[in-house]
Chain A
């Protein structure tokens, strides 16, 4: 596709349920990033993939959060036993490379998660 695609665009769930968020990066982009943006806050880094491996998982806030990437393309961010504080916009970005000039990140429109 022409850009980074995220689905669903909006997700409302009940506290305690599991949710899966999907990201389709730009074709050919080897690096993929997940961020969280809470209301009035800056972007919070969650996890970075290079290919299918995740060299940096340092931003995952708890063990309820996990992510995987398959085929060097699609990535899924899973949140188990959701809590109200998980409510945020989850943004995915991809880039051609991961360092220097090649690392301009292209963002999807995000998934707005609301946990009731």
Chain B
């Protein structure tokens, strides 16, 4: 089945930029979505279809998808951005079509 690999952790100082990668194969034909999950809470969609933002999500969150890597970028990081982040895609050709990335813990220093 499809595997989406993320770095386990990313540390960033307040006001700086955090970049979280999501690696796989043949991303060009698939859309990637991103979720934020804070401790004890349900996930929240922050980026969908590679680089669209749901209403209510700050412009500081953006996404890109190129080659075999998708990236979630958080600009001007705030303490409230500290959370786990997961990428997600659908692979119709797989027997496990819904796939989440391994998850990245973002720590704000």
Chains A and B come from one and the same complex: no
